[in-house]
């Protein structure tokens, strides 16, 4: 069975029509992972027995003639920063190498409830800090399109898993672009939902006011099903949006883009954007225009300051969120220490990676007395401004379009020496998190060297359905072949 | 030498009377096995999120209302970051620049003088766990049962001028909080904790000199002692003049040694890196709700005092004693409702009940038991002396007063008929005494009285025996 070509929709139909069994599907994916993941490095932990058991339960339900959920029997890869009861959850950090959560994250619970088959936990940048997945505390992830290149980060393992055909869908988390960026680099659809649409309960926090869980899928329709499967109010997350019923994106997205207004922010296409990327993205915009969308340039001067504000806010929150890794109750503990302070210092020094330490220091600094006003407070004021500018823009536009990443997938090691260079990869994604709005990245085409290029659509709060509508129309028109050839390069 | 005055401000942490913790549904019950009342949220496992317990906001608003504070309608929570093993998240969720209450005051009487202690603020926060240092072991144990128990921190202005005033303030504050059902304020269990900020200055000036913070007092009595000790320590430093300055620092009260010890200096003070808690959206409080809570406040000590003085005709000093603890005032009023004897009830409670309660938390007898005892004394079924014995026997005893008196054989013989027969027998037995009395040697009355009591085995109602004996002797 060529599982790498399957979609959520296709699996659902096949199960309904009894073309294949859920267990066969799961087995086939597990086999593919075993054959190819050595060269990709997408998974940190496989949960083979549970996955097979879950798939057999789905088969039993089918045999009994029960109605099937869209996710019943669908294999899912879960980023390793979402807690899974009884299954180690590491955040790709030595700090949590042996941490086995006693509870399920709300999204994991939701997947299980709907018959989703969790194959395992995917690699990532340590504590989700990074844009290339090279910051994993265990091993990097390679891009299935070119194994000398990075898959993007921080949800690089989840993106690579779907791209390599290890699972038809995966969950990632997006604090400043960590879903959209790897989606762009791996030729996938990735959705960063509105802040508050998907519960964060059980997502190991990085930047709490920015973090949001979202799906990766091969098609726009699959991404819609996946989001429908995980969204909804959760009383355990006080920032989750109450009173929203589940949406039917898949049904609403097929009505075309005629009459929709799409804004092109000049600053997101300015110098510094790889010319090939710019050309491919603009070709996508042209396609939408040809299909009847109204397209207009406008100015949105937030990219540079947004990046600074993002690194201050996310690092400030991270410096506090990561305080609990002190070696006292769980996680890594240094072997020898003379007192409490030494226990904390040694445990953290030994177990955290370089980038995590850098962010903790940056965050601690911007919150320190005497610096708070100049940095953190200023960043928060800028955040207000960004929200205002987006609010204003969405009075005119249904969506805003931009490249997802200003560059093509880069080589492993290419940007690891200069953190600032690496941070530039997030230039067009961070403001979405700062404003809390939804955004979707999807494949817009390939560079001449055969590398995927992503296009990003940003929408107003809780207007994901408009993004799916636009993405669906573009996907139909582009008709890209998105299955990479695995094997042997390097 | 210059005359110095003491300047004191207090920071009081009070655990709120809620069933569950501030951010999860774990129980707040005191005294459970270590770490039983915990869950992923209150031990800060990766990925968990807090959900604010609405009852905490309710009780904090109630406290603000009872203490005359301004209630802030927009509230946010903040993170106070520091590493300590009893703090599982390495930050405490607290309130920094927008506390739920500002202002307010408590009126106190100390050394005959009435003063007003103003409050700066009251804010909501979570409690930390408890460290248990084992004497002979190289490690420390942590019990997180207390972690996440809701607290309010009440901060006063530096308005207090003496240890006596601090004590009066703490007693009055405790009584207000207990009366309004906000906290049980048990210092010995840690549900009320007071930190003292203290400095001295030349009397008549208004400068605020270098202050010292004292922690770790587990009773009001210890607060008093710590202030007295610190006052004299600072006075000594000032009197030595230049070169012996008071250093800004935190000192720990060592109860056993009766002195304060330096804990950490200003240089070691944490930079808490406060910032708004991103996991909790701001809490908007409805003005109507505040008014509703205000109008449903129970009777507070000041009002109860006025009412009790008017209703029962008691002395102010007695009422002050009765109302200090709500439990005692309630017990008093319940006893009066049954016995209709306010004076007697007050006397019994002040002299006897409070005496036996020195080492107990609960009133060790019921209003019915005490009321019955008062009424039996009044009826004469039991003598006043015997009543004291009965009272002792009633402590932590479920039997009714009547049954107990019966069982102890302390009931008096008040029946004139029964006593007359006994007295006649005694007079017959001692003719000499009778003739002595009749001959004017009246001291023999005492002898006969004694013989009568002996004949009734002490149970004869002395008043009645005396009356009958007098009548018989004059016959």
Q: Does residue A228 sit in helix, strand or coil? A: helix
Residue B359 has pLDDT above 70, yes or no: no
Q: How far apart are CA B203 and CA B72, in angstroms?
A: 36
Give the relative orientation of helices B444-455 and B416-429 as an angle to the nearest 10 degrees: 120
**Does A106 reside within a domain?**
yes
Q: Does residue A489 surpass a pLDDT of 50?
A: no
pLDDT surpasses 60 at A135? yes
Residues B284-318 have pLDDT tens digits of: 999 999 999 999 999 999 899 999 999 999 998 89
pLDDT in tens, B166-202: 999 999 999 999 999 999 999 888 899 999 999 999 8
Closest residue on chain A to B43 (Cα): A329
Provide the shortest C-alpha distance from residue B184 to chain A (in Å): 29
- DSSP one-letter string for A266-298: GGGGSTTS-HHHHHHHHHHHHHHHHTT-EEEEE
**Does residue A88 lie within any of the structural domains?**
yes
Q: Could you confirm whether A55 is annotated as catalytic?
A: no
Mean pLDDT of B367-395: 87
CA distance B127 to chain A (A): 16
In B, which residues are within 8 Å of A341 by CB distance?
Answer: 83
Nearest CB partner across the interface for B275, out of A237, A316, A328: A316
Alpha helices in B268-383 (DSSP H): 287-295, 301-312, 316-324, 326-339, 342-347, 354-356, 367-379
Per-residue pLDDT, A195? 98
Q: Do B81 and A205 make contact, defined as CB atoms within 8 angstroms?
A: no
Instruction: Decide if A287 is catalytic.
Output: no
| Distance of alpha carbon A186 from alpha carbon A171, whole angstroms | 15
Band the pLDDT of B362: cuts 50, 70, 90: confident
Those residues whose C-beta lies under 8 Å from the C-beta of residue B362, and which sit 6 or more positions away, are B327
Instruction: Say if strands A261-265 and A294-298 run parallel, antiparallel, or are unpaired.
Output: parallel
Contact status of A171 with chain B (Cβ, < 8 Å): no
Mean pLDDT over B1-26 rounds to: 94
A326: closest CA of chain B, how far (Å): 8
Q: Tell me whether residue A323 is in a domain.
A: no
From the CA of A305, how many Å to the nearest CA of chain B? 21
The helix/strand/coil state of B153 is: strand
Closest CA in chain B for residue A328: B85
Instruction: Assess if CATH 3.40.50.360 describes domain B416-474.
Output: no
Cβ of residue B89 closer than 8 Å to a chain A Cβ: yes
**Which of A59-73, A462-476, B43-57, B368-382 shows the lowest per-residue confidence on average (mean pLDDT)?**
B368-382
A208 lies within 8 A of chain B by CB: yes
- Phi then psi dihedrals of residue A271, to 5 deg: -55, 150
Which residues in chain B are closer than 8 Å to A317, comparing Cβ atoms?
275, 278
Domain enclosing residue A197, as ranges: 9-256
| Contact (CB, 8 A) for A61 and A72 | yes
With CB atoms and an 8 Å threshold, state whether B85 touches A326. yes
Instruction: Classify residue A324: in a domain, yes or no.
Output: no
pLDDT tens per residue, range B96-120: 999 999 999 999 989 889 999 999 9
Interface-testing mutation among B34, B49, B78, B82, with chain A (most A C-beta atoms within 10 A): B49
A411 catalytically annotated: no
Mean pLDDT to the nearest integer, B330-355: 94
pLDDT of residue B1: 54
pLDDT at B135: 84
Q: Give residue B212's region: left, alpha or beta (phi > 0; psi -120 to 50).
A: beta
Nearest CA in chain A to B52: A238
Handedness of CA B78, B82, B83, B87 (dihedral sign): negative
Contact B46 A237 (CB under 8 A): no
Q: How far is CA B169 from its chain centroid?
A: 12
List of residues 6+ apart from A272 with CB closer than 8 A? A406, A424, A427
pLDDT value for A490? 37
Which one-letter DSSP state was computed for residue A482? Answer: -
Within 8 A of B35 by CB-CB distance, chain A residues are none
Which CATH number characterizes residue A214's domain? 3.90.1300.10
Is the pLDDT reported for residue B403 higher than 90?
Answer: no
String of DSSP letters for B377-434: HHHTSS-HHHHHHHHHHHTT--S-HHHHHHHHT---B--HHHHHHHHHHHHHH-HHHH
Measured distance CA(A88)–CA(B47) in Å, rounded: 13
Catalytic residue (one of A178, A240, A402, A441): A178
Q: Over the stretch A397-453, which tens digit does the pLDDT of each residue have?
A: 999 999 999 999 999 999 988 888 888 899 999 999 999 999 999 999 999 999 999
Instruction: Note whether B40 contacts A102, CB cutoff 8 Å.
Output: yes
* Interface contact A202-B88, CB threshold 8 A: no
Residues of B in contact with A316 (CB under 8 A): 275
**How many C-alpha atoms does B174 have within 13 Å on its Cβ side?**
21
Average pLDDT over residues A189-204: 98
Q: Which helix (H) or strand (E) holds B169?
A: helix B163-179
Residues near A70 by Cβ (< 8 Å), separated by ≥ 6?
A: A8, A9, A12, A114, A225, A228, A229
User: CB-based burial of residue B55 (10 Å sphere; 0-12 exposed, 13-18 middle, 19+ buried)?
Assistant: middle
Q: Which residues of B touch A83 (CB under 8 A)?
A: 45-47
Nearest CA in chain B to A104: B47
State yes or no: ipTM above 0.90. Answer: yes
Mean model confidence pLDDT for chain A: 96
Is B241 a residue whose pLDDT tops 90? no
**Count of domains observed in chain A:** 1
Element (H, E) at B15: strand B4-15
Q: How far is CA B146 from CA A191, B192, B216, in A?
A: 41, 13, 17
Instruction: Give the residue among B348, B320, B351 at the shortest CA–CA distance from B334.
Output: B348
Structural domain boundaries of chain B?
4-292, 299-408, 416-474
């Amino acid at each position: 069975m060529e599982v790498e070509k399957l979609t959520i929709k296709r699996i659902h139909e096949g199960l309904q029509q009894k073309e294949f069994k859920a267990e066969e599907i799961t087995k086939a994916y597990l086999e593919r992972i075993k054959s190819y993941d050595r060269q990709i490095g997408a998974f940190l932990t496989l949960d083979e027995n549970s996955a097979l058991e879950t798939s057999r339960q789905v088969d039993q339900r089918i045999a009994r003639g029960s109605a099937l959920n869209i996710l019943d029997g669908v294999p899912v890869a879960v980023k390793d920063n979402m807690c899974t009861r009884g299954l180690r959850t590491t955040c790709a950090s030595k700090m949590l190498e042996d941490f086995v959560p006693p509870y399920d994250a709300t999204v994991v619970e939701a997947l299980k409830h709907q018959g989703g088959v969790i194959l395992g936990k995917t690699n990532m940048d340590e504590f989700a800090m990074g844009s290339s997945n090279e910051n994993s505390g265990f091993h990097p992830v390679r891009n299935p399109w070119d194994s000398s290149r990075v898959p993007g980060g921080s949800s690089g393992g989840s993106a690579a898993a779907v791209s390599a055909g290890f699972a038809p869908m995966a969950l990632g988390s997006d604090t400043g672009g960590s879903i959209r960026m790897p989606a762009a680099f791996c030729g996938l659809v990735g959705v960063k939902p509105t802040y508050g649409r998907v519960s964060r309960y059980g997502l190991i926090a990085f930047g709490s006011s920015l973090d949001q869980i979202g799906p990766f899928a091969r098609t726009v329709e699959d991404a819609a099903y996946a989001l429908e499967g995980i969204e909804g109010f959760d009383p355990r997350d006080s920032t989750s949006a109450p009173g929203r019923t589940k949406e039917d994106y898949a049904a609403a997205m097929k009505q075309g883009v005629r009459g929709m207004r799409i804004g092109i922010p000049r600053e997101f296409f300015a110098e510094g954007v790889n010319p090939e990327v710019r050309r491919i993205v603009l070709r996508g915009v042209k396609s939408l225009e040809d299909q009847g969308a109204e397209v207009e340039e406008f100015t949105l001067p937030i990219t540079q300051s947004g990046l600074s504000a993002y690194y201050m806010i996310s690092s400030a929150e991270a410096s506090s969120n990561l305080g609990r890794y002190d070696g006292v109750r769980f996680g890594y503990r240094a072997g020898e220490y003379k007192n409490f302070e030494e226990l904390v210092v040694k445990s953290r020094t030994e177990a955290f990676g370089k980038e995590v330490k850098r962010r903790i220091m940056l965050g601690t600094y911007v919150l320190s007395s005497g610096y708070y006003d100049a940095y953190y407070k200023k960043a928060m004021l800028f955040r207000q401004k960004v929200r205002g500018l987006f609010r204003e823009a969405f009075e005119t536009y249904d969506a805003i379009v931009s490249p997802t990443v200003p560059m093509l997938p880069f080589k492993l090691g290419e940007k690891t020496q200069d953190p600032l260079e690496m941070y530039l990869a997030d230039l067009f994604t961070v403001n979405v998190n700062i404003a809390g709005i939804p955004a979707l990245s999807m494949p817009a085409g390939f560079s001449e060297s055969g590398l995927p290029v992503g296009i990003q659509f940003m929408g107003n709060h809780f207007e994901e359905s408009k993004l799916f509508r636009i993405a669906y129309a573009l996907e139909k028109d582009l008709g890209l072949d998105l299955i990479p050839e695995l094997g042997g390069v390097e | 030498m210059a005359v110095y005055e003491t300047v004191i401000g207090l920071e009081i942490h009070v655990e709120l009377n809620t069933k569950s913790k501030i951010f999860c549904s774990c129980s707040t019950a005191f005294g459970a096995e270590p770490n039983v009342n915990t869950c992923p949220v209150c031990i800060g496992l990766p990925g968990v999120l807090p959900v604010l317990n609405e009852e905490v906001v309710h009780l904090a608003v109630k406290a603000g209302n009872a203490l005359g504070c301004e209630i802030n309608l927009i509230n946010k929570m903040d993170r106070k970051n520091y590493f300590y093993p009893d703090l599982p998240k390495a930050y405490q969720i607290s309130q920094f620049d927008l506390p739920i209450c500002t202002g307010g005051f408590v009126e106190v009487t100390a050394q005959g003088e009435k003063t007003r202690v103003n409050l700066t603020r009251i804010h909501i926060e979570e409690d930390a766990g408890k460290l248990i240092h084992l004497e002979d072991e190289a490690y420390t144990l942590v019990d997180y049962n207390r972690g996440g128990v809701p607290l309010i921190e009440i901060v006063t202005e530096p308005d207090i001028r003496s240890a006596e005033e601090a004590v009066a303030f703490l007693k009055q504050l405790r009584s207000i909080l207990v009366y309004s059902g906000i906290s049980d304020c048990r210092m010995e269990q840690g549900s009320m904790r007071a930190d003292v900020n203290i400095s001295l200055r030349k009397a008549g000036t208004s400068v605020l000199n270098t202050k010292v913070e004292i922690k770790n007092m587990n009773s009001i009595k210890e607060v008093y002692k710590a202030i007295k000790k610190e006052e004299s320590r600072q006075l000594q430093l000032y009197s030595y003049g230049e070169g012996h300055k008071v250093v800004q620092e935190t000192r720990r009260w060592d109860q056993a040694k009766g002195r304060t010890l330096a804990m950490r200096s200003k240089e070691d003070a944490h930079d808490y890196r406060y910032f708004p808690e991103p996991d909790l959206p701001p809490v908007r409080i409805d003005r109507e709700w505040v008014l509703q809570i205000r109008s449903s406040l129970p009777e507070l000590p000041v009002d109860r005092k006025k009412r009790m003085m008017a209703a029962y005709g008691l002395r102010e000093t007695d009422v002050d004693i009765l109302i200090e603890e709500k439990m005692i005032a309630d017990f008093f009023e319940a006893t009066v409702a049954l016995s209709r004897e306010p004076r007697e009830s007050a006397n019994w409670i002040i002299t006897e009940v409070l005496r036996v309660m020195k080492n107990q938390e609960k009133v060790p007898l019921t209003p019915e038991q005490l009321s019955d005892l008062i009424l039996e004394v009044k009826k004469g079924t039991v003598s006043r002396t015997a009543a004291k014995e009965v009272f002792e026997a009633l402590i932590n005893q479920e039997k009714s007063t009547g049954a107990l008196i019966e069982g102890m054989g302390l009931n008096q013989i008040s029946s004139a008929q029964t006593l007359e027969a006994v007295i006649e027998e005694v007079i017959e037995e001692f003719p000499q005494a009778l003739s002595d009395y009749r001959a004017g040697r009246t001291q023999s009355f005492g002898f006969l009285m004694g013989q009568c009591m002996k004949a009734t085995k002490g149970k004869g109602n002395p008043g009645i025996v005396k009356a009958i004996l007098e009548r018989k002797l004059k016959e």
